[in-house]
Structure 1
Amino acid sequence: MIQKELYTHFHPDEHHFVDRAWEWVERSAEQHAVKRTDFLDPRQTFILTTLVNRHPDVHCRLEGGYPDAERKRAVIAPDYRHLDDEEMNISVLAISSGDGKFLTLEHGDYMGAILGLGMKRDKIGDIHVIEGGCHCLVADEAASYLHMNLSQVHRVHVQTELLSLDKLQVASTRLEELHLSVASMRMDGIVSDVFRLSRAKVLIPIQAGRCRVNWKTEEDPSKPLKEGDMISLQGFGRFKVLEVEGVTKKGRIRVIIGRYA
């Protein structure tokens, strides 16, 4: 079992994953085992690499299917094992339809259809909504099942095809730029302005653990945000603090926010 003092560095909700990740590391070191994980979110990859770096006899490789992938699989192995040629077992599930209804389908529609088949989120990497459909990175072990069973997305009939990684089409990131003037960099105030919610309505999901800063659960409404921070509020979306421009004559802070479309 991992040393309990490590828990102080992580949110209580993360302790279960910390235990699992440390078990992978210990097994690689003591039993010379190789572990290939499911897809991990950026916070989980941070936790894993932190633990791997604590052990001198273990290393890992992270891969999400393309250079800027957000969700990645990891291979954890003894440090003497060469990982560059290790199979990461990632496929591209291409989803398409012949009608124009795809124009209205969004990331959440594809995710909902996939999870509606009983698929675990951990088997799914990044999802790219492109013209005429979607390219979804999936674990090889889930690819055939999705290919055979996914036939409808939000009442739109679809066809699927499995492609190699070199055929992946990556969607361009769309950010709605917002210029705000805020009294402080407090998280609750900025979240309130970005999602056009009252401060009281913002406090409820934050204190319920539904807000993340840089993929880490944050329950303190007064947490100060800084340039580069990524914030997500479950059910509302996410945004990035692009730039803190400075202070106005009236003492307010000018901030540029990039809200993900």
Structure 2
Amino acid sequence: MDISQHFRRDEQEFIDQVLAWKEQVENSYIPKLTDFLDPRQQHIMETLIGKHEILRLHKHGGGPYTERKRMIIAPMYEPIDEADFELVLLQTTYSKKFITLTHRDVMGAFLSLGVKRKKLGDIHAKDGVVQILIAKEIASYVQINLTSIRQAKLKFETQPLSAFLGEEKHWKETECTVSSLRLDTVVKEIYKLSRKDAANYVEKGLVKVNHKTVENPALLLQEGDLLSLRGKGRSKLVTINGQTKKEKRRITTAILK
């Protein structure tokens, strides 16, 4: 497999890590559990390992609609169950009379503890309830140290994974034609902007691709890329459907409703 045809140069470090995990399991026959991975990283693992003759990939994020998941590379014969993913659901409640906590508030408070993002899965913050899915190895530390977010005093308690309130995400798909797969061109089409405004948003660091800020309007997008434009929501390039006779690209995009 020519990896360069399928992935970007800045993904090479993660690709090397996946290949090292693969070799480790092939040689030791001991399953490998990853940290939480975003959808793009999950796609990379599935591409590199998904059809392996003696290995099987398993993934679980703590609920049926979670986006970030931990993955296990295991020998084909190895039984894997929920406990093997070492996931913990922490929940707290607060009075929403005087304050409303958002996903961003919870994320910021978590990262302020000095814990790496890869140890945190999905977050639910709605109607006075905050839930976080985290790696088991940091659960006690987070319970002890995450005692407030903004002005709200909190006490996180462990709950069964089945209690996670994350909801299914609904995407509205649209088929369109674009002159190229440049980031600014696709952002322009999805968010109904002028080409100039789309490029300016990118250059100002307001656009993320696969959860990473990108400031290069000329970045060429790939099938499955997740996008977000600050203040205007999340979207994705679902499929690339070929070219027109005028060499434009037919694509299917989707925006999160």
TM-score if structure 2 supplies the norm length?
0.75
Say which of 115, 124, 141 aligns to 2:120.
124
Change (3 A) 1:156 1:172: farther
Change (3 A) 1:86 1:97: closer
**SS state at 2:85 partner:** coil
Is 1:239–2:251 an aligned residue pair?
no
Distance 2:256 2:64 in 1: 22
**SS state at 1:87 partner:** helix
Please tell me whether the aligned partners of residues 91 and 143 of structure 1 are also in contact (alpha carbons under 8 angstroms): yes
**SS state at 1:93 partner:** strand
Runs of 5+ consecutive residues of structure 2 not aligned to the other structure: 239-251
Is 1:21–2:24 an aligned residue pair?
no
Is 1:114–2:110 an aligned residue pair?
yes
Distance 2:19 2:237 in 1: 32
Is 1:6–2:3 an aligned residue pair?
yes
Runs of 5+ consecutive residues of structure 1 not aligned to the other structure: 243-254
Matches within 5 A, 1:143-158: 143-158=139-154
Instruction: Specify the alignment match of 2:80 in structure 1.
Output: 83
How much does 1:257 deviate? 6.4
Of 196-205 and 18-27, the range deviating more from structure 2:
196-205
Distance 1:218 1:25 in 2: 33
* 1:11-38 per-position Cα deviation (integer Å, ceiling 9, x unaligned): 1111111011111111111121211111
Please tell me whether the aligned partners of residues 59 and 79 of structure 1 are also in contact (alpha carbons under 8 angstroms): yes
**SS state at 2:77 partner:** coil
Say which of 148, 160, 166 aligns to 1:170.
166
Instruction: Specify the alignment match of 2:71 in structure 1.
Output: 74
Instruction: Specify the alignment match of 2:198 in structure 1.
Output: 202
Distance 1:36 1:256 in 2: 32
Change (3 A) 1:153 1:173: farther
**SS state at 1:55 partner:** coil
Say which of 36, 42, 47 aligns to 1:45.
42
Instruction: Specify the alignment match of 1:55 in structure 2.
Output: 52
Instruction: Specify the alignment match of 1:245 in structure 2.
Output: none
Change (3 A) 1:185 1:162: farther
How much does 1:166 deviate? 1.9
Aligned length: 241
What fraction of aligned residue pairs are identical, expressed as a percent? 32
Of 146-155 and 208-217, the range deviating more from structure 2:
208-217
Distance 1:218 1:257 in 2: 22
Of 231-240 and 36-45, the range deviating more from structure 2:
231-240
Distance 2:55 2:213 in 1: 25
Distance 1:16 1:224 in 2: 19
- Aligned amino acid, residue 14 of structure 2: F
Distance 2:118 2:51 in 1: 25
Is 1:212–2:209 an aligned residue pair?
yes
